[in-house]
């Protein structure tokens, strides 16, 4: 992995762990996979070059927040049925996806 990509992943890992209030390192590998999946989703959603765009160019703040939220959601709802530990309603997962998509929509390249 290139230095720049590793630095981005490390930075996002720190931010995702802070968002989740996770202070241990046991789940770092799992969280990194969720972050990579969130970046992949963002690149596809925004219609940018998949696999390298966000790791070679500055990530806009709204996109970064969406990646943090989506990776956190993946971690908190690993079974895919809830919005996470603190969800208090059945639509919690849908609300997460809507918020993330709205954040990613800001950086979308509208191509035909």
Number of H helices and number of E strands within the chain? 5, 0
Mean pLDDT by 10 residues, the chain (112 residues): 86 97 97 96 90 82 96 86 58 86 88 64
Report the pLDDT value the prediction gives residue 74, as an integer from 0 to 100: 93
Report the pLDDT value the prediction gives residue 55, as an integer from 0 to 100: 77
Residues with Cβ within 8 Å of residue 60, at least 6 apart in sequence: 106, 107
Report the pLDDT value the prediction gives residue 84, as an integer from 0 to 100: 55
């Amino acid at each position: 992995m290139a230095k720049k990509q590793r630095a981005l992943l490390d930075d996002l890992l720190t931010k995702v762990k802070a968002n989740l209030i996770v202070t241990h390192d046991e789940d770092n590998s799992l969280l990194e996979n969720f972050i990579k999946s969130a970046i992949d989703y963002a690149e596809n959603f925004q219609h940018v070059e998949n696999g390298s765009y966000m790791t070679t160019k500055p990530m806009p703040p709204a996109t970064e927040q969406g990646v943090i939220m989506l990776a956190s959601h993946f971690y908190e709802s690993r079974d895919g049925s809830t919005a996470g530990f603190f969800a208090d309603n059945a639509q919690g997962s849908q609300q997460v996806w809507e918020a993330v998509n709205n954040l990613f929509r800001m950086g979308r390249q509208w191509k035909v």
